Every structure is written in C-alpha cells, then in structure tokens.
Structure 1
C-alpha cells in the first residue's frame, strides 16, 4: 500500500500536466476560445486544483478518520471541490474583467461542470488517501497487537519454565530431608547431583529449541537424582530411532518422566519398568513414555501443573492442541508427545 501511495505522488503531477493540455486543447478547438485565453484558463484551473488537493491531503493526514473512509472522503472532497470551484471562478473573473462578456458568460455557464469535475477529482483522491491512512492505522494496530501477543507468549513460556524447577525442587528437597536421618551418604550424593542438575538447567534457560540428544542427557541427570531416592526399583528402557539434528523444546520431557515415576512407582514394591519410545517420521518426532498403572491404587493428585504445563507450552510454541496425547489400559498409562520438526 505504501509503495502504491509513493508512486501515486509522482503520478499526480504527470496526470495534472496531461489534464492541463487536454483542457487547453478542448477550450481552444471545441469551445472556440483563443489559444492565450485557453492556456490561461486551464493554467489557473489546474493551479487552483493542485493547491486545493495539496491542502486537502494535509487535512486528511493531519486529522483522524472518525467516520467511515467513504463518508469522510465525501465530506472532505465536497468541501474542497466547492472551494476550488469558487476560487477558480473568482480568479478567472478578476483576470478577464476587461474582456467582453462572451467569456464571462461562458465562464458562468461552465461553472457547474467545473464544480462536478473538481468534486470527482477531489473525492477520488480524498477517498484513496483516507483508505490508505486507515489501512496504515490498522496495520500499525495489528503490528502492535502482534508485538504484545509475542511478548505475552514469551512471558507465559518463561513463567511455565520457571514453574517447572520449583515443582521438581520441592520433591527433591523433601527426599533429601527424609534421607538425612536414615541414609546421610545418599542425601549428600543427592545434594551434589541436584546441584549439578540445577546448574545445567540455568544454562539451558531461554533457549526455545535444543538437540534431542541434549535433552536426553538432561533427563539422565534427572534420573540419576531419582535413582538415589528409588535405588534399583527404577528401571528405564529406551527405544530410539531419530536423526542427529532432531530438536525439541527444553524441559519438555522432565514433567513427563516425573509423572511416569510418580504414578508408576506409587504403592508398588520391587522393580518398576518405564518404557521410553522415540521415533521420527517425516517432519514429526514422537516420544511415548509408558508406566505401570493401577486405577485403584493412585497417589493423591498435586497441583496438576506437569502435563497441563506441557500442553500449554506446546500450544504456545506450535499453535496446536493435538501434540499431547494421554492413553491408558488396565495396567499401563502412556503419554505421547508429538514435536513438529522444522529442520527435517
């Protein structure tokens, strides 16, 4: 729109010259006016019209459009067309005041046509200018709204990431507190691993996507902490099939694993197996985490942040609501993540 408007500014002077020539030719050849009168008449008419259009554009650009563009252009165009016609009539009548009455009579006769042509020209230019201005205003509002939306999105993603670590940290500190009395060595080991884990988390914060290999290394660090709590009871089985450049949002797997451990190990004795299946197909990465499930023996639900937080993050990142799927049987519970790949 701005490009068209820029070219129109060069087109208008050219159009004015063409109209001036056509008007002078018409007055001379069809109305029978002398060439000097025809040139002077058309010159005055075009000069007044040009100044009127210039003033009209200043008004259109200076004052906001409080009504519709069409009505606004009609009002502005009509006002300036009447002004242009009146100034032209007064100016020509003054210039040719010593001429015979034939020209002044013809001038009075031609004024309705002049008013109408001025109204058409002013109305068209005012309409176009008002539409351009309204379009630019809408575009600015859209860009501002888009910026606000992006800021809100980034703020919410940051909030979700910041919620994740305290959620895990509280659980770890509770475990350390319990271990300090019965197994101080394990508590000390867990504190060291937790320190390394949180240090790695700080380095990753702020990244929107990381390599899947890095996320899995992060998960291994997380599981090493959990292994202090559960010992040999926790057994993770992986099945992987993906490309080396595969990427994933950071911190997206930890809540899934935490949920699987919480609901898989609760109320059970002996070793518990959690299966992690990772496969890539075309432009989509699928990660499924399956844990044992017993509908009659489940822990009390917490804040519900984990999986709901993942669902919200995936929506904010990919604008899709179908990227988190939960399914269960009588004995298993499966969480499946679908991560679109832009570099596949």
Structure 2
C-alpha cells in the first residue's frame, strides 16, 4: 500500500488550509443571503468537515486500488456516489441545525444542486491528485528497484571479473615456486611468503575506490614475486608524481595490466626488459601509463586469452559508464597502455 499524500506534512497543511478557507468563504456567503450567524457558522463548519472526510476517504482508498485503462470510470462513479451521499446528509440532517428558520430551510433546499456540483468537483480533484501522487510514488519505487537491480548486477559482474583475474597469475606463481623448490629453495620460500602477502591483500580489496599509493604498494608485492620468477631479466621503473598518490583509483586495476606488459615484454626475448609505470595528473584525470618493449616482428598478438585488458576495459565501463578510459597502442618498439581515471 502506498503512503497517502495526506501523510506528507506540506500536503496536510495545504489540505487543512484549503478547507479552512472554504469554511470562511461559505460562512460569509451564507450571511449575505441573510442566514443567521450561528446557523451559517454551523452549516459551513459541518459541511466542510464532512467534505474533508470524504476527500480523505477517497484518497486513502485509492492507495489500495489503482485504476488502469477503462477502469477510471469507476473512480468517477465513486466520486458521484460520495457526492450524492454528501447531499443526502445535507438534505436530511442539516435542517435540524435551525429547524425554526424557514429562510434557512428554503435556502438549504435550493443550494443542494450547487453543493452537489461543488462537492463532485472537490472530491474528483482530490481523487485525481491522489492518483497522480500514487503513480509518481510507484514510478519512483520502480526506478529505485531498477537501480538496485542494476547495482547488484554491476557488483556481481565486477566481483566475477576480479575472481577471473586471480587464477592465471596464481597458476604461474605456483609453477615457478615448484620449479625453484629444488634448485633455489630459499627463493622458493621467499616467493611463497610474497605470494601469501599478495593474496592476503587481494582478499581485503573491495570494489570501492582506493588511492594510488595503496594500489602501488599492492602492485609492488606482485612485482616482487615476478622478479623472483624472472630474476635479473625483469626491471621495473615506477614514476608517480607526488600529487597523484592520494588520487582515487579502482583497486586491483594495475596488476593485470602490468602482468600483460610482462607477458608480452619478456616472453619473446631473453634480454633484460624494463617495464615502466608512470602516473601524473592532468585535470580532471589521473593518467597512468604502462610501457613495455614491443617488437612487431616477434610479437604474437593472439597469444593468451586477452582477458586482462578486456576485463579492465569492462570494469572501467561499469564504474564510470565510459568505454574510452583505456587506450592500448604499439609504437615502433614500445607498447603503451594508458588509463584515465576521472577524479571528482
């Protein structure tokens, strides 16, 4: 059941004020016809109290029943019945207000048709206002539910994307640990601890925004693991301007991109490779560039599933409702991935 408009404080004040004004106007109108003051006051007060109750009745009942299509005719009939009931009360009960005054009795009989039309207009107006109010409430409720459903869907998809990002890196790390267990047990042990710290931090991450400083600290755990895997072949250079460290960024955004850069930068060469990460602010965006070596002759564009960058693109689209915040393009000997994070 929708809340009645009369539960709204402003509407309730306007409702009381309206009937107060109508009572005053009716009182002065009756006096102009020579009706005694006490009789005019009782007639005005009683009739407007009854009208107010009938308006409340139809408004309250419409909260249980909302007509659609051709069923609006039922509301019109309902208003007519209530108006007939109002005039019946006037005709049979109001003569007792001043039974000895023939002038009032005659005026009462002559005013019934006018009062019927007036009451029908007033009750009908209240019915129309109530239907509009309830329809608006219903639309707002539908919109709220739609937004909640979209939010839940978005959160579920974001959670799914995050869950899909982890296994690929985890399997590679476990394979590396397995390979190091015999040849370099100390490094294998170190890598286990680093992997544990990284995964513990990942579990604490949510899809609420974090700052770049925390994201880089988490990324550093990942890079330490990768340096154990690749040894001296992997160098990383992180250049984040001081004014960017407190800027917001979705968590776990950089790791899959850097993983992608390592995969395409190191897998096709035995030489040392430097992965560069640059962060700077260019209002209104935090801009992050991940740069890895690239050789068009040896690169394999179809290698892997391509899920890493695609997932980041999708996350940014879900969070910011834009699909132009990630740009990846090769140059002559570099592959540059650029992310723009809007700052509010």
TM-score (norm 1): 0.84
Q: 1:76 touches 1:123 (CA, 8 Å); kept in 2?
A: no
Residue number among 5, 14, 18 corresponding to 1:11 in the alignment: 14
Alignment of 1:20-59 (within 5 A): 20-29=23-32, 31-35=33-37, 37-59=39-61
* Bigger Cα displacement from structure 2, 269-278 vs 247-256: 269-278
Question: 1:123 aligns to what?
Answer: 124
In structure 2, distance between residues paired with 1:250 and 1:112: 73
1:201 corresponds in structure 2 to 202
Moved more, 45-54 or 251-260: 45-54
Aligned to 2:223: 223
The 1-side partners of 2:311 and 2:234 are apart by 25
Between stretches 283-292 and 36-45, larger displacement belongs to 36-45
- Is the 8 Å Cα contact of residues 69 and 131 (structure 1) preserved in structure 2? no
- Once the two structures are superposed, residues 39-63 of structure 1 have per-residue CA deviations (whole angstroms, 9 ceiling, x without a partner) of 4443443243233223223212333
Per the normalisation by structure 2, the TM-score is 0.84
* Unaligned stretches of 5+ residues in structure 2: none
**Aligned-residue RMSD, C-alpha:** 3.2
Alignment: residue pair count: 339
Change (3 A) 1:214 1:57: closer
Measure, in 1, the Cα distance between the counterparts of 2:326 and 2:81.
62
TM-aligned CA distance change 1:3 to 1:151, over 3 Å: farther
Query: Tell me, which stretches of 5 or more residues in structure 1 are unaligned?
Result: none
When residues 275 and 47 of structure 1 are mapped into structure 2, their CA distance, relative to the original with a 3 A threshold, is: closer
Q: Which residue of 1 is the match for residue 251 of structure 2?
A: 250
Task: Give matches, 1:182-201, under 5 Å.
Answer: 184=185, 186-201=187-202
Q: Measure, in 1, the Cα distance between the counterparts of 2:228 and 2:259.
A: 14
Which runs of structure 2 are paired with 1:1-344 in the superposition (5 Å)?
5-29=8-32, 31-35=33-37, 37-66=39-68, 74=76, 76-92=78-94, 106-180=107-181, 184=185, 186-202=187-203, 204-206=204-206, 208-243=208-243, 244-299=245-300, 300-342=302-344
- More moved, 4-13 vs 234-243: 4-13
Measure, in 2, the Cα distance between the counterparts of 1:108 and 1:267. 103
Could you give the per-residue CA deviations for residues 107-127 of structure 1, whole angstroms, max 9, x where no partner exists? 443322111111121122222
Range moving further from structure 2, 152-161 or 273-282 = 152-161
Q: 1:69 to 1:266 in 2, by over 3 A?
A: farther
